[in-house]
Amino acid sequence: MEWPLQPMLAKAAKAVPAQPADGPVEWSYEPKWDGFRAIVFRDGDEVVLGSRGGKNLARYFPELVAAVRRELPARIVVDGEIVVPREIEGRTRLDWDALSERIHPADSRVQMLAEKTPSMFVGFDLLALGSTDLTGEPFGTRREKLLEVMGGMAAGMAGGMAAAGTSCHVTSTTDDAATAQDWFERFEGAGLDGVVAKKLSSPYLPNKREMIKVKHARTADCALIGYRVHKSGNGIGSLLLGLYDGDQLRMIGGASAFTDKRRVEILEELQPLRTGEEPKSAEANRWTTNKDRSWVPLRIERVIEVAYDQMEGERLRHAARFLRWRPDRDPTSCTYEQLEVPVNYDVADVLAGGS
């Protein structure tokens, strides 16, 4: 088995698939980790953290490379997720921002962040062990072997990850649909974003959408703050959204993904709302250094209903999707209180062997 290898993918569904009413159990369910997908290849001292896009992420996570050498067998290929757990208000949850910051061109910063915000690897599928290719085996068989190889890494998780003293872990699974639904509702507080269902009989099929993913999807009414022009120069690129925190209006992110026709229509529709101020500049980051991040402010008069998946602190984790205008709503009624607040849950409880 050689790198690069494309991971097996999932297709979206609205609900956790049920087990067959009659016959053997068909599905295995597991929490959906929200990190960097990575297939770990180890052959002796050689370690590759292969991203979904075919890049080796090893230089950005030197502490994880060392952990793989220390904790995994000498020859192994494991599919999983790279995440950064951090203690927040007494509980350990995933920190997406801290994870994103790990991708940095300066080696000095990479080394500093490796100590400040160390990562961990959560394995959920075993593809090869020693000289044996396991991708043709049923997932149920691969899962059993994964626990044999890495199960000790997850033991003792009820006492906390620090107590375990490891960086390579195994995700929890269940064959009970009710338990999977319970995970879907509760584990978001640990920074996870849904549930994945896998057929126990399925081989590993690279780049095929053979799994099922059920993600959190919510709607919110947001005040329209402004807009960015599309990179082509024609129409709207994104609509900037805000929510009130008391009397203060905070920008929470944007809504994008319009058709070319709709981009132009919305741009024309919003021109009467322009404040006359010059376009404002947004802070550049490593992803957008060469991009125009300026935006046009608007009078706070309109409300948008958007679909979103998850919040990261006070902001949207990912771009929202425009649903409709809400002429019946006043912008000042768009507050954080309308959002569903996920319960607090510790990452350790989502790992195999956790409480």
Supply the residues annotated as catalytic: 32
- From CA 102, how far away is CA 114, in angstroms rounded? 8
Amino acid at 4: P
Contact by Cβ (8 Å): 169, 120: yes
**Strand 168-170 versus strand 132-133 pairing type:** unpaired
Structure-block tokens of residue 95: 């920190």
Q: What are the CA-CA distances from residue 23 to residues 178, 202, 210, 324 (Å)?
A: 18, 17, 21, 45
Helices then strands, counting H and E runs in the chain, come out as: 7, 20
Q: Within 10 Å of residue 58's Cβ, how many Cβ atoms? A: 18
> Which is nearest to 123 in space by CA: 186, 77, 179?
77
Token representation of residue 199: 């057929």
Alpha carbon separation from 306 to 137, 221, 324 (Å, rounded): 42, 6, 7
**Cα separations in angstroms, 311 against 77, 134, 218:** 33, 37, 10
Q: How many CB atoms lie within 10 A of CB 15?
A: 11
